[in-house]
Structure 1
Amino acid sequence: MNNPPPKRKKANSATSSNPESSTSDINRSENPASATIDVVAVEVPELTPEEQSDRLHLERKVERAFFEAGKALAELRDRRLYRSTHSTFEEYCKDRFSYNRSRSYQLIDAAAVVDNLQKCPQIVDILPTAEGQVRPLTKLETEQQQEVWQQAVEEAGGKVPTGRIVKDVVQRIIERTQVPNSYQIGEVCQILAKDNPELRGKGGCWAIVTAVNDFSCTVKIWNGELTVGLKHLKSYNYLPTECEQMQVICDRINRVYSSALEESVQRFLESLGKLKRSYLTAVEEKLLSVIEREYGVVD
């Protein structure tokens, strides 16, 4: 009886079941660098009208976060809602929000600017989205704030302008409206520190002009020298002889103040630094003379 011949395996069966063999065939038949990969596109569903409304609402909340913070801080300050735990608003902000005084008032001032901009129909739909965009506007009058913002929006192509664009527009307007510096060297003025944190503690001090710049004056006060913008100075309109008297008083106080002082002496000299007259009273003259002798600065 003849045995049936053995079954043969299909040649391509082993090849198709062996990954290494398949890879080898691909490498031989085609360059991997030129291989084409088919990608199936995934269709992203469009937002529903309700989702579009929610997105816009949430975007507005993010954009107005600094505004809401400033409004809230202003109310906390004005109503003194911090008084149960803190003696001052500044201490409260530091402990509760980790804001220093400068940051707290930056947000408050920015919120006031946005409030003002919202009253302008032409720009109601293009409002600031960050505190830095309105910071240059805080020192302007309300009408100027609106004018600058409108111009900045135009320069930004109808979009929300950057802080740099706003600052540049503000600078051009300041230079355009700047009153020429009419102060003279030796003139005695009063320092107005309002809205200028750099002059904190110097408001009300007399100042003697030592240099006249384009938009500021360098002045000498009872304990040193500084540069002050024109809007922060107000002339006492003293006569030339009165200005000379103030110069003598200033020199005397400066010589004493350069020494190491007791706190009571420093407080006395500080009070002389805010005189609203061009002379010392008899008692002030005696006290200053005693201090001069005590610290060895008598001519």
Structure 2
Amino acid sequence: MNTSPRKRKKANSSGSSNLKPAVNSNIPDIPPQDNQGLVTIEVAAVEIYELTQEEQSDRLLLERKVERAFFEAGKALIELRDRRLYRSTHRTFEEYCRDRFGHSRRQSYLLMDAAVVFDNLVEKCDRSDHIFPTNEWQVRPLTKLDPDIQPEAWQQAVESANGKVPSHRIVKDVVQRIMERTQVPNTYQIGEVCQILAKDNPDLRGKGGCWAIVSQVNKFSCTVRTWNSELTLGVQHLKSYNYLPAECEQMQVICDRIGRVYSSGLGESVQRFLESLGKVNRAYLSQLEEKVLGLLESEIIK
């Protein structure tokens, strides 16, 4: 007499009685006596221990290193540029950054600008909050603001992010609102020659009184070119010399000439002379200044 086959009981692990095994039609049916070792799966429990005080301190230190990585890079680039430590192998700082770090000119200057802003935030923001930027992208919108306003903008962005590190978008939105609130009309034109006004701005240390040529007009600021750098400044840090168009063109030629001599790396005494030319408050060089600059130009041609 034929008897109906008994239904095979599904094997369950001791701790998973509600779980059903997955069915795979490609796997052949395994007799019960052959799969006894596959029925029970033992998983070792992992106990999570609280960090010791020393480990908490180490974690905080390492987190700060990660957060400050872009800041340290920017500060190092600033020192490399200001001390001209690239001069033994490269004519210009931009060429050095491209060959040594693979940076575009813009990339290096963005890191340096971000480092300056970060330093300003650390100095003026409440340190007890421990909320500071973690990358250059978060800092970039703040570069459009005066250093005195940057801490206020950052704190507002942190509040908008519910006490966490704010994203680039949040910081940008806060900066935009502040700029609209403190809008100053920008009447400058490309090619116009201006004097840089430091106004107790530590970022402009050594730049006060220098002349600069406007190369880009933004809504609330201008990008200007000096004899050895390019800066983006709020209009409150600029004062027009009101030169005639011909005089502005003449200053552009002088700027190009000084820049070529500067990038040649002729020595510290030459740099001091070029710095003095970068602060002349007239649209021409004196006869002696013209003679010395011409001599230096002849030296770099050799």
TM-score bucket of the superposed structures, by smaller chain: 0.5 to 0.7
Aligned to 1:75: 79
Q: 1:176 to 1:94 in 2, by over 3 A?
A: same
Q: Which amino acid in structure 2 is aligned with residue 48 of structure 1?
A: T
Q: Distance in 1 between matches of 2:191 and 2:234?
A: 11
Aligned to 2:114: 110
Structure with max Cα Rg: 1
Provide TM-score, normalisation by structure 1. Answer: 0.53
Aligned to 1:161: 166
Q: Distance in 2 between matches of 1:189 and 1:98?
A: 31
Match for residue 61 of structure 1 among 61, 65, 68: 65
SS in 1 for 2:66: helix
Deviation at 1:191, TM superposition (A): 6.5
Q: Which has the higher helix share?
A: 1
Q: Which amino acid in structure 2 is aligned with residue 29 of structure 1?
A: K
Instruction: Name which structure has the greater RCO, CA cutoff 8 Å, separation 6+.
Output: 2
Structure 2 gap ranges (5+): 13-18, 22-39, 197-202, 204-211, 221-232, 254-281, 284-302
SS in 1 for 2:192: strand
- The aligned runs of 1:32-71 (5 Å cut-off) are 34=20, 39-71=43-75
**1:17-56 superposed Cα distances (whole Å, 9 cap, x missing partner):** xxxxxxx99x702376537966442223443332222222
Q: Distance in 2 between matches of 1:146 and 1:58?
A: 24
- The aligned runs of 1:1-299 (5 Å cut-off) are 28-30=8-10, 34=20, 39-123=43-127, 125-180=130-185, 190=192, 204=213, 215=219, 231=235
SS in 2 for 1:90: helix
Q: 1:134 to 1:230 in 2, by over 3 A?
A: closer
SS in 1 for 2:90: coil
SS in 2 for 1:119: helix
More deviation, 53-62/63-72: 53-62
Structure 1 gap ranges (5+): 1-23, 196-202, 208-213, 217-228, 250-266, 278-299
Q: 1:169 to 1:89 in 2, by over 3 A?
A: same
Q: Which amino acid in structure 2 is aligned with residue 149 of structure 1?
A: W
More deviation, 117-126/151-160: 117-126
Provide TM-score, normalisation by structure 2. Answer: 0.53
Q: Distance in 2 between matches of 1:106 and 1:206?
A: 17
Q: Distance in 2 between matches of 1:151 and 1:230?
A: 21
Percent of matched pairs sharing the same residue: 59
**1:187-224 superposed Cα distances (whole Å, 9 cap, x missing partner):** 998266999xxxxxxx74799xxxxxx958xxxxxxxx
SS in 2 for 1:171: helix
Q: Distance in 1 between matches of 2:215 and 2:167?
A: 39
Contact 2:193 2:241 in 1 (8 A): no
> How many pairs align?
199
